[in-house]
Amino acid sequence: MSEKQTIVIFEAHSDDCVIGMGGTVIQNNNEYNFILVTMTKGETAYTKVEDKGKMTEIRKNESMAADEILGIHEHIFLDNPCQDMQNNLKNYHEVVKILRKYRPIRIYTHKSPSKHRDHRNTHDVVVEGWWKASENVLADYGKTYRCPELFCFEVTDLFEFPGYIVDISNVFEKKMSALDAFSSQFDVLPGLNKYVEGLAMVRGYMGGFNYGEAFIKSNFMAKPC
């Protein structure tokens, strides 16, 4: 049996992957090793003053519970400040290192433009790192690697014209179970479960099935042919 190929997902916050593409991960985790990279600590996502200072640990624990349901192979936390995720040299180089180390067959990250600075800056630093990882520079970060393709998912800023709709009808309930792991966020984002279900129904309608997840393919780097 051949070794499974790798897919790397870059999310700004620990629940973004579940919201944007949890179903896609669940139904493909037997075929691929999914590496999930969370860019921020999520420490600002509290509604009670007494929880301030606890949220980083709470959200990491929630992530671990969700990972079990999703079938995440490995989870990397880069621990940038929440609401201050930057497209800076440090994060740029972290993306290059990760891509050269894991050499994924595909990358997923946030769409852009986005009104959320963490989502927007995550997208920008990832697509730039995708390109830079392919250049013959930064030799101490590993052998150059050009990942064949990068896809963007949606969280709260939606695609006007999605390029792809994945049918997640058979795993939708499991996706929602993974979302339930992030119980600390239910007061932060009231109605989150209904929003995720409604969006999945809309995308499913567009694809001709019950529940779906939408993606677009990035053309930031041209694909050789």
For 122-144, write each residue's pLDDT tens digit: 999 999 999 999 999 999 999 99
Cα separations in angstroms, 202 against 165, 170, 195 = 10, 16, 11
Mean model confidence pLDDT for the chain:
96
For 101, the domain range is: 5-217
Q: Count the neighbouring beta carbons within 10 Å of the beta carbon of residue 4.
A: 14
pLDDT at position 141 is 97
The percent of residues above 70 in pLDDT, for the chain, comes to 99
Q: With DSSP H G I counted as helix, E B as strand and the rest as coil, what are the percentages for the chain, rounded to 5?
A: 40, 20, 40
Looking up tokens 């079938």 gives: 71
Residues 29, 31, 34, CA angle at the centre, nearest 5°?
45
Whether residue 223 lies inside any domain: the answer is no
What confidence score (pLDDT) does residue 207 get? Answer: 98
Specify the pLDDT at position 46: 84
Q: Is residue 58 part of a domain?
A: yes
- What percent of the chain lies above the pLDDT cut of 90? 89
38 lies in a domain? Answer: yes
Could you tell me if residue 224 is inside a domain?
Answer: no
51, part of any domain? yes
Report the DSSP pairing between strands 164-167 and 150-153: unpaired
Confidence band (pLDDT; 50, 70, 90) for 24? very high
Q: Is residue 121 part of a domain?
A: yes
Residue 117: its pLDDT value, please? 97
Report CA-CA distances (Å) from 209 to 4, 70, 167, 206, 213.
28, 21, 7, 8, 11
* pTM attached to this predicted model: 0.96
- CATH code of the domain containing 21: 3.40.50.10320
Q: Residue 214 corresponds to which amino acid?
A: A
Q: Is there a domain that residue 160 lies in? A: yes
pLDDT at 197: 98
Number of domains in the chain: 1
- Average the pLDDT over 7-33 and give the result: 98
Structural domain includes residue 225: no
Alpha helix stretches (DSSP H) within 29-116? 55-70, 89-102
What are the residues whose beta carbons fall under 8 Å from the beta carbon of 90, sequence distance 6 or more? none
Q: What is the pLDDT of residues 92-122, one digit of tens each?
A: 999 999 999 999 999 999 999 999 999 999 9
